[in-house]
Structures are given as C-alpha cells and as structure tokens.
Structure 1
Amino acid sequence: MTIPPLGFGTFRLKGQEVIDAVTTALELGYRHIDTAQIYDNEKEVGEAIAASGIPRDELFITTKIWITNLKPEKLIPSLQESLQKLGLKQVDLTLIHWPSPEDKVPMEEYLPMLLEAREQGLTRAIGVSNFTIEHLTQAIDLVGAENIATNQVEIHPFLHNRKLAEFAREQGIQLTAYMPLAVGKVMQDPVLQAIATAHQVTPAQVALAWLLQSGYVVIPSSTKRANQQANLDAAKIQLSQEDVAAIAALERGERIANPDFAPAWD
C-alpha cells in the first residue's frame, strides 16, 4: 500500500481550530489526514471529513494507538472507539504511537493485536511511530517488514535520523517525517533562506521539498490557508545536488519531541 507522500498533520490542533484547518486542507486538495488518540481531536477531524463530502475511497486517514492502550485487551477496543469518533468504519493506517515506556508492555503482546485489528477490517494497514532500530528490528521479527507500512519519526533539516533512515531503507520500510519544519525553526535558518531565495520559495517549502525528494512521507501542519497551499506546492520544487549537500550540513541532532518516556534514541 502506498501512503500519499504529502499529508496534513493535526498535532496540537483542537476544537473548532482543527475542524477549520482540516476543512481548508481538504478543500485545497489534501487527501492524507493524520491524527492520533492522544491528540484529542479525532471527533472533530471526523466531522470535517464528513462535511467535506469527499468520497471515502479518495481519503487516507491515519490514527495512532496511545501508550495507555497497548495492553492486548485495550488495543482493539481503543481503535474501535477512535473509529466511532472519526465516524469511519475503517482507517487506512493505524500506528503504535510510541513503544511501551521501558518496554513494560512487551511488543509480543501489542503488535499481534494490530495484525488482528487489520484482520477484523478496522484498518487497512498497520505501522509504528517513534521506534528505534532496536524496536524496529524486534517488530520485523514479530510481524515481518512487509506488514509495517511506515515508522513515523521526527525528521527535519536539523535532525536527519540517518542511522534509522538507512536501516529502514534496507528493510524496505517507509519513513514518515513529523515536525518537518522543526516547529518553525527552518524559517530562521540562513542556509535554508538562501536556498529559498534562489528558488523564489520559502524556507519551509525548501525543507518539505528536501524531505519529499529524499523519499519520506511528510505531514506538515498549519491553520493558515496560504501556508497549507504553500506546503502542497513544495512538491513541485526540485532541489539541486548543491542544495541537498548544504542541507546535509545542517544536521545537529536537534530533537524536539523527546518526552520522558521516549526510548533510547539511535
């Protein structure tokens, strides 16, 4: 299954704000919408999807199972609740949002439940998020690389996650880049500004173009129509080898999403 390369992220968007943002995104042509149980916005995302009138088979909807729902008896009921909130019979992709903190819930208990959810028709595909090489290796041993549609991780010009990216590529697992704009920090970087000026685009568009050109799925988020459109237009930008080399030099291991329950990163 192919994941649409440019999606719309809904992290930190709630209430009417997320309804308006998703509504606008769908109007502009986004067809890949990313949400999660912990975002507390599945109901509103579902409302925007329903109101759009876009045929279900034209949309790609992702949600994620939160760490409190990893126990085998909780995982499928929690996904059923997500579907109820979204107003959908099935999502296209269900991810484990984070590996169990300190691996208290063994992966052997929750990954097979994702397969079971797929068997029950609750989700078309399954995957993971914030998995390290060690976690991904274990997941491959348990369910096979062919059953892991993606590993959604933080990647942007200041955090390239190279070891993990190389491993995932070797295993044939697609990576999805979240926080692709480093929560706006790309806009202030002089290197990205210079590349943007040369292409007559914005630094944000350069960052997204670099990720797309590198083969990642990207899920930027914005509440502003103009920015949403600009993010879509980033797919049209072709960066030169010199541009890519300049962005490669920006790597500084600057991780933004690093909660206290995060795994030991590669």
Structure 2
Amino acid sequence: MHLPEIGLGTWQNTDSETCAESVRTALDVGYRHIDTAQYYGNEEAVGEGIDAADVPRDEVFVGSKVHADKFGLSHDQVIEGLEVTLDRLGLDSLDLLYVHWPVGNYEAAETMPAFDELVDRGLIDHVGVCNFSTELLDEAMDHLDAPLFAHQVETHPLLPQDELVDHAQRHEYHHVAYSPLARGDVFDIPEVVEVAEKHDVSPSQVSLAWLLSKEAVSVIPKATSEEHVRDNFDALDLELSEEDIERIRAIDRTERYVERDGAPWLDA
C-alpha cells in the first residue's frame, strides 16, 4: 500500500472516547492514514476507532512507533514492543513501524536489523524513523536490508526542513511532516493568512497544501473535532500558485516546537 498524502495525527489525543471517535470520523471522511505511537498512550483507542469505521482494514495505512523510554530499542525490545503495539491496536500487522527518537539505547547496528526481522516475519510492511539527522538517516539505511520507507519530523512553514526533504527526495522515501500547522501558529503567520484569504480557505489548508506541493512530503495534522478533520482533509483540493508557494517559502523566521534531550539537532 502507498502512503496517503494526508493522515490523522493523534499525539496528545489521550481521552479514549475522543480519540476513538476522531479516528472513526477521519476514516469515514476519507482519510486512509492513521498515525500513533507507544508513547502517546492511545494505541488501544486508535484501534477501537479503526474497528468502528466502515472501512476495510486493508484500505487503512496504520503507523506506530517504538520508543526508548517505553520498551527500549535493543533488538529484542523492538520485537517485544511491536507485539504489544499490535495487541493494543487489535491488528495482526502494521503498515509502518518507526523508531520514535534516536535516543536511549538506540544503536543502528542493533535496532535496525530488528525491523528487518519484523518485515521478514510479516508483522510490519515498512520501516520508518523519526527525528533523525541526515547523518543518522544514512547510518540507519546502512544497517537495513529493507528500504527506508519514511522519516517523520516536525515540518511546517516556520521549519521547512529543506535539507531533510531533499534527502528524502534523493533517496526516494517519504518525508512525513508532523506538527504541520506549527501547533496552531499558522493562524498567526501573516504570509499564510494572506494566502488563505486570497483563496477563501483556512490557514490550516494553506499550510498543508504548501507542504504537499513538495515532492515526497506527506502530512499528519492532529484534529479531534469533525470540523477540523474535514477542514484539514480539504487541503487536498487546494492548489496554490507558484507565487503563493514562494511567498511562504520566503518566510525569514524559524520556530521549532518539539524539543527533547538527545535530539540530534542539539548537537548540530
């Protein structure tokens, strides 16, 4: 299965009923990509939402992440963590499993072969990583037999990640943008707001359409209400002009919203 351009992000969607309902709603609206993680504490609710939707399982692309602070990232811990994740989600296999952060006991030479084993066993279809640098991406690929399928990282108009997007394009894997609405701050970026007013759409749609105009980029905005779920999905129908795209690309300020100890950019 290919990776859909837009998916539903579920970080901080921790109320079980709300989470399950937002997943069900998103799938009924037309989303076919759901993103979760061990660390989010909502895999069971996500699984309930998938089960409740009137969409066959083989049409839904489901991704989750193994985390150093939960089960660990040694070979055996990755295997154990995936088994727990599948049990929580109520699924027999995952479409995509990520390394959530390259921290803790992450070692490419030990961690990545565990992903190859999971692919060989048919428990996951694709391998991904999150929050890596280009150097860590190269190292991970060196220790993988399976192709790297996706890299998920914070990406939005205030953090366009040009180097990482270029790396994804050159190596033919997906760049998955999380926090693509800059934690809601796209509503306060004049350039984004002005383009939104020009097209009579929301700043959210403009931010998502701007990201989707880039080759190899997919987006996973979080939304819980049906209104926001639908509004984000409508970004697929928004076509920005080259002038619109350049106006946002030319924004000359940077803001990063996601930080943690050991993040690779802290050593850059």
Report whether the alignment pairs 1:28 with 2:11.
no
Letter in 2 for 1:235: L
Determine the C-alpha separation between the residues in 1 that align with 2:221 and 2:162: 20
Report whether the alignment pairs 1:72 with 2:75.
yes
Matches within 5 A, 1:199-218: 199-215=199-215, 216-218=217-219
Residue matched to 1:90: 93
Report the alpha carbon displacement of residue 253 of structure 1 after superposing the two structures with TM: 2.9
Structure 1 runs of 4+ aligned residues shifted over 4 Å read none
Determine the C-alpha separation between the residues in 2 that align with 1:135 and 1:252: 26
For the residue of structure 1 that corresponds to 2:264, the secondary structure is coil
For the residue of structure 2 that corresponds to 1:150, the secondary structure is strand
Determine the C-alpha separation between the residues in 2 that align with 1:37 and 1:73: 16
Letter in 1 for 2:101: W
- 8 Å contact 1:160–1:251 — kept in the other structure? no
- 8 Å contact 1:159–1:251 — kept in the other structure? no
Query: CA RMSD for the aligned pairs?
Result: 1.4
Matches within 5 A, 1:143-154: 143=144, 147-154=147-154
Matches within 5 A, 1:250-261: 250-261=251-262
TM normalised by structure 1 equals 0.95
Determine the C-alpha separation between the residues in 1 that align with 2:138 and 2:60: 30
Determine the C-alpha separation between the residues in 1 that align with 2:199 and 2:182: 21
Residue matched to 1:162: 162
- 8 Å contact 2:22–2:224 — kept in the other structure? yes
Listed as ranges, the gaps of 5+ residues in structure 1 are none
> Which whole-Å deviations, capped at 9, do the CAs of 1:109-147 have from their partners, x for residues lacking one?
100101101111111111111110110011122226x61
Residue matched to 1:178: 178
Residue matched to 1:192: 192
Residue matched to 1:58: 59
> Which whole-Å deviations, capped at 9, do the CAs of 1:51-101 have from their partners, x for residues lacking one?
224211111100001113201121111100100000000010001111124
- 8 Å contact 1:155–1:180 — kept in the other structure? yes
For the residue of structure 2 that corresponds to 1:93, the secondary structure is strand
For the residue of structure 1 that corresponds to 2:64, the secondary structure is strand
> Which whole-Å deviations, capped at 9, do the CAs of 1:170-213 have from their partners, x for residues lacking one?
22221000000001000111111110011110111000001111
- Structure 1 residues 193 and 105, CA gap change in structure 2 (3 angstroms): closer
Letter in 2 for 1:20: E
- 8 Å contact 1:43–1:87 — kept in the other structure? yes
Determine the C-alpha separation between the residues in 2 that align with 1:140 and 1:258: 24
- 8 Å contact 1:127–1:147 — kept in the other structure? no
Listed as ranges, the gaps of 5+ residues in structure 2 are none
Report the alpha carbon displacement of residue 105 of structure 1 after superposing the two structures with TM: 3.4
How many equivalent residue pairs?
263
